[in-house]
Structure 1
């Protein structure tokens, strides 16, 4: 009977260790954040109709879009990607030149084109070298 109790104790300890490891890894996996994406949506957060018409929502979750600022005539939005752990940046100077890039939320995500060069980073991430702050998560970079 002592052997059975010892076996149960070892199994219980193993389950407890495994549960602790899962819980701790879950904390680190979700440590990255973009506070702007957690706030309530406002009317200005809606992406332009031309983006909605051309993007079917298979890459970015368009309702999650939050307007974060403007740089030299280009409006910038952050969005959640449809893939778990993805974040997207949308640069929109006009109906014809807008671009969107997505990447892992651990950051950084870069977007470069006629609208400019932008870098998206998580909250509390160091400022990219040579960058101009647009918001807590988005910077314009001069090449």
Structure 2
């Protein structure tokens, strides 16, 4: 089984699914490249003993692309949020003044641990004895308060 020949043969199926599943909130080139890698991986993992290649690829490729799309969406959101945070951190460093008076004690702790000590949400939750979802809520609330403060 020559993977390169099969890759070229099943590329139209990949492009069909890419067109079907693409949304504007992700980068198409990233989606396409990830899809091509997924197709190659699926072709390498295919076991002829388990059934027809075409049926296997139709289902597996579709669900692989769904997972890729979801991951790319979260990456885009994460990168966007990181960009905003870096801008705010830089503004705060330039001013050398951070007005945390509008934040609660818990929000201050979370901001300090996540953004200045660079702990992950999971580690911050462990340090403070909270659940990761609670840390996310406090973090979001603190960011919104700081955004409001920066606009004033």
Q: Place the TM-score, normalised by the shorter chain, in its bin.
A: 0.3 to 0.5
Structure number with the higher strand fraction is: 1
Q: TM (normalized to structure 1)? A: 0.34
The higher-RCO structure (CA 8 Å, 6+ apart) is 2
Q: TM (normalized to structure 2)? A: 0.33
